[in-house]
Chain A
């Protein structure tokens, strides 16, 4: 009896009503997606965000200055300041320490400035050589030959209470300025 007025709206109106709800449904899902997208994206890009704020870098001790004889280049290892429980041995990092004289040092990243392979120091010939693509560097880290376009990456260092400390924590790469002081020097001849 009283149902008739309710049925009254034309079929067109019913469809537009349904259509309206569908659009509302799409909008509602869109909002839900956006609400979730923010934390998802922040999670996914968290390593980028933190790296941008230089949140990975800190001063790491390499050992007593007396461990590094003057005029020599020696390998030192340190534990990367940013560690996660599943990292295993990968957080142990090597670097080359050259004690120029007294408190003057050069601390080179182990990674070749070409493509990151581990360079080795040859004291007899006074060269760092890379096993991958044949890059070579002089004892002061400047480029000697091969594919690298620049000298070895250098860590900023300081000597505090007789302990050599470097500012490290990030893999140095050719495109990332972190841990690379200008080390372009004219080839010594």
Chain B
């Protein structure tokens, strides 16, 4: 024991780190910050360290080459002992990391911790969030499969829309004219060297500032932050009602960190690694690329925005959001901290969470995508042709063969891009059906060039049978009169 002490003293004589570490560990924190609400920052740091370790382990096998990456992932999954588990931990770790960073941010915002004097801590935190998302995207690229390949294409297409410099940005991003070896290599450099290096530096500053400025005290409604008095008040608070960070507060951080690591390990064990999906071969086009979980909301948004709004939205909104986040501590640097007295802040967070959640959920179903495999070979459900005329059956055939079901469902099978057609005859009259089929519109292509008049007649005859037994199909009231008048006239003519 004495030997260990002696060795320790020998090192500290040279390093002189014991005193500052002891000081940092024992620095007083307000008692009420030893709360389960204050564990997300340390949890994010823990997951980051986990990602560093598992990332280094993966790099022992992974080959960052467009020709070999996919095979090396297969080797990790199937050949190397526990390679699948390390991949799974790294993949689930990234999901947890994004989630925890977001929760941490929301907690900090709702507790007013971005206010004076912690503005810079918040700003660095915003950069840490952006880097975390950058790691998430570049990591998805390193899993070099079909999703990664077409995901890069989506990234390039978005980047190309920047006015003037767009095409250059694309080539800089791809490292060449197309998505290929150089693209993967530069995303490898970003994911493994550039962003982690920046992250380590920024995390260091972020934690250092928490130590120097002190952890945000529990916000009390009515306790107002003022630049002139805040620091003295905080000092008095930690003196009057403070406790050393170690061990008073840290045990909760430690418990939560261990819980998160176990949760990641459990997810990794139960659900396994992510992909890789099909080989990154651009000539295999039977694929429906989808981004990873944390970008699903964007995927949904890009499908649902009106085409004309998309480019302005993509180019203007992200910079505005980032600018807004960076300016936030300056716009509301003082005043109430408690979310109970900041209704707008609370509602904003709620709105953003609900919006992102809804988009994410929608992106899991992709109702906007045609069902590419609602094949023309599928049978028309029996009940739709039961007791129909020859013309209507012919129409059912046209309906099937022209892939109407890629976008329209019948009997709950088929796409959801267009409306379900189970009761279409109740909604549209014969004339309206003909017009819709031939001219399209309302986001439906025009089929006028692809249907012969006979096919159109048959198709519409079939569509007119699609109504509940108890409801008759829609009729144009005037049509009957016009037709009967026509008949009258022709019958009265000699």
Residues of A within 8 A of B (CB): 44-45, 47-48, 50-52, 56, 75, 77, 80, 82, 84-94, 110-111, 114-120, 122, 124-127, 129, 131-134, 136, 138-139, 144-149, 169-171, 173-178, 187-189
Contact = CB atoms under 8 A, between A and B. Distances in A.
24 contacts: A47-B174, A51-B168, A80-B177, A82-B177, A84-B176, A84-B180, A90-B178, A90-B280, A116-B154, A116-B156, A116-B157, A117-B153, A118-B150, A119-B285, A124-B401, A125-B406, A129-B370, A134-B368, A145-B444, A145-B445, A147-B303, A174-B160, A175-B157, A189-B440
Contact of A51 (B159, B171, B302): B171
A174 B161 contact: yes
A21 B185 CA distance: 42
Q: Give the interface size bracket for B toward A.
A: 35 or more
Contacts of A80: 177-178, 180
Contacts of B286: 120
Contact of A144 (B177, B280, B446): B446
A47 B280 contact: no
Nearest to A118: B285
A147 B309 CA distance: 10
Given A84-B176, A132-B154, A148-B307, A52 B168 contact: yes
Contacts of A129: 370, 372, 406
Interface in B400-445: 401-404, 406, 417, 438-440, 443-445
Nearest to A116: B153
A94 B177 contact: no
List the 6 closest pairs (A to B, CB-CB), nearest first.
A88-B67, A175-B160, A116-B153, A144-B445, A173-B160, A86-B181
A119 B370 CA distance: 11
Nearest to A144: B445
Interface string B280-308: 11110111110000000001001101011
A43 to B, nearest CB: 11
A176 B167 contact: yes
Nearest to B64: A86
Contacts of A127: 403, 445, 450
Nearest to A77: B283
Contacts of B156: 116, 171, 173
B288 A110 contact: no
B172 interface: yes
Given A48-B168, A145-B443, A145-B444, 6 more contacts: A56-B177, A92-B281, A132-B299, A134-B417, A171-B170, A171-B179
B167 A131 contact: no
A49 B302 CA distance: 31
B384 to A, nearest CB: 19
Nearest to A131: B288
Chain A interface SS verdict (over half): loop
B187 interface: no
Nearest to B367: A134
B460 interface: no
A82 B305 contact: no
A177 B179 CA distance: 17
B334 interface: no
Nearest to B376: A124
A132 B154 CA distance: 10
A112 to B, nearest CB: 8
Nearest to A76: B283
Interface string B244-257: 00000000000000
B161 A175 contact: yes
A47 B177 CA distance: 7
Contacts of A47: 171-172, 174-177, 182
Contact of A189 (B178, B417, B439): B439
Nearest to A85: B181
A94 B168 CA distance: 24
Contacts of A92: 281-283
A115 B166 CA distance: 14
Contacts of A48: 168, 171-172
Contacts of B180: 80, 84, 87, 90-91
A136 B308 CA distance: 16
B490 interface: no
A170 B177 contact: yes
A117 B149 contact: no
A152 to B, nearest CB: 13
Given A47-B176, A93-B283, A126 B153 contact: no
Nearest to B167: A176
A174 B314 CA distance: 13
A80 B171 CA distance: 15
A139 B449 CA distance: 10
A61 to B, nearest CB: 16
A45 B182 CA distance: 13
Nearest to B300: A133
B121 to A, nearest CB: 32
Given A116-B156, A136-B370, A145-B443, A84 B403 contact: no
A89 B68 CA distance: 10
B214 interface: no
A45 B169 CA distance: 10
A105 B401 CA distance: 26
A89 B65 contact: no
B308 to A, nearest CB: 7
A90 B149 contact: yes
A124 B167 contact: no
B238 interface: no
B168 A131 contact: no
